[in-house]
Structure 1
Amino acid sequence: MTSRRRKAAERRRRKRQGTGSPPTGEPAFLLVGKLRRPHGLRGEILMAVTTDFPERIQPGVTLYMGDSHEPLNVATIRHHNRGLIIAFEGFTSRNDVEHYNNQDLYVPADDRPPLPEGEYYLHELIGMKVITEEGETLGVLAEMIETGAANVYVVRREDGSDVLLPAIDEVILEVDVGNKQMKIHLLEGLLPE
């Protein structure tokens, strides 16, 4: 693994700490956004959306802020450029929200929407045993790298080396979330000589 990727993985690991979620396995909370700066004088604040399901952020929903997961009930939302303008119940002035700059917002993991067949949440894949179609253990799925085309899975081998697998149908044959196992077809050139 390159130094740059190792540093990025370490930043992601540190980011997960304090979310109430273990570094691997089932998380307790899922990140949905980040509060930016107050907007106007009536207690509204800009929010950058980080979820693939922004429709879940609606008036009446409870979001959990920061490392302490302080519950905040959404009073109103409006769309604004690349994010939302959000107001929480009980906050009526700019002073009420000024100190919330750069705070992360979460929802309980139990509230996550179900995915279509064949799609998975990343936390369901991390830690999976990766085996070849011949039944040989290749290693454990350690992380995913998002690229412009197909995502790439980083499989950590027993000796500490990494194998990069493109997340494409020709390589990923079967994903068994219940048994934490992924079956793959090793295309020529995927393993180092």
Structure 2
Amino acid sequence: MTEEEFFTIGQIVAPHGVRGDVRIYADTDFPERFLKMTYAYIDGMKYDVENARFHKRVVLMKFKGVDDRDGSERMVGKEIQVTREELMPLPKGRYYVFDIMGCAVFDTSGTRLGTITDVLKTGSNDVYAVTGEDGEEILLPVIPSVIVSVDIEAKKIVADPPEWADS
């Protein structure tokens, strides 16, 4: 049996009230998913969700078996996680950051540029930080004219770097 891989979608930041509810900061592009969840994983253990709702900028969630403030206080700082199968599907051409990290990047002639070590969120488009074997970093905007192809299975990205990215 293989070990299950978990992905964090939020963090418990505080108890809420005295009946075991917790406050969760969502760390996902799909916060509405919390309202439909029937269970979540915390420290690798499955917890059934009794109910969930939005309150200001947080999600309030109640787990079965956590029925008082003491129980909810023990959960503070824990991550809310899901399995890969429970991740929200992305539109074609969009990828999860954790799938992009570590991908080898090649230019259109097949020369290895390096490995993706960071994904920067700039507002208009993401930027891949690619670190070469010499430690030098180049930044590649994630736009169709620069990112030619992405193969998550092979962990390979082909890029056509802009002139200013040349060393």
Q: Which amino acid aligns with 1:113?
A: M
Indicate conservation of the 8 Å contact 2:34/2:59, yes or no: no
After superposition, the Cα gap between the structure-2 partners of 1:46 and 1:156, relative to the gap in structure 1 and judged at 3 Å, is: same
Q: Secondary structure at the match of 1:130?
A: strand
Query: 1-side partners of 2:30 and 2:73: how far apart?
Result: 26
Question: Which string of whole-angstrom CA distances, capped at 9 and with x for unpartnered residues, describes residues 88-125 of structure 1?
Answer: 10122222212222221111122112211111111221
Q: Is 1:91 the counterpart of 2:62 in the alignment?
A: no
Query: 1-side partners of 2:88 and 2:33: how far apart?
Result: 9
Q: Which amino acid aligns with 2:20?
A: G
Higher strand share: 2
The runs of at least 4 consecutive aligned structure 1 residues that moved more than 6 Å come to none
Question: Which string of whole-angstrom CA distances, capped at 9 and with x for unpartnered residues, describes residues 58-111 of structure 1?
Answer: 46622112xx32321110112100111111101222222122222211111221
Question: Which string of whole-angstrom CA distances, capped at 9 and with x for unpartnered residues, describes residues 107-156 of structure 1?
Answer: 11221122111111112212222111122221122221222322111111
Indicate conservation of the 8 Å contact 1:60/1:75, yes or no: no
Identity %, equivalent residues:
32
TM-score by length of 1: 0.78
Q: Which amino acid aligns with 1:171?
A: V
Q: Is 1:177 the counterpart of 2:152 in the alignment?
A: yes
Find the partner of 2:23 among 46, 69, 85.
Answer: 46
What is the aligned-residue RMSD (CA, Å)?
1.9
Residue segments in structure 2 that go unaligned for 5+ positions in a row: none
The number of residues matched between the two structures is 165
Q: Which amino acid aligns with 2:74?
A: H
Question: For residue 11 of structure 2, what is the aligned residue in structure 1?
Answer: 34
TM-score by length of 2: 0.89
Indicate conservation of the 8 Å contact 2:35/2:53, yes or no: no
Question: For residue 11 of structure 1, what is the aligned residue in structure 2?
Answer: none
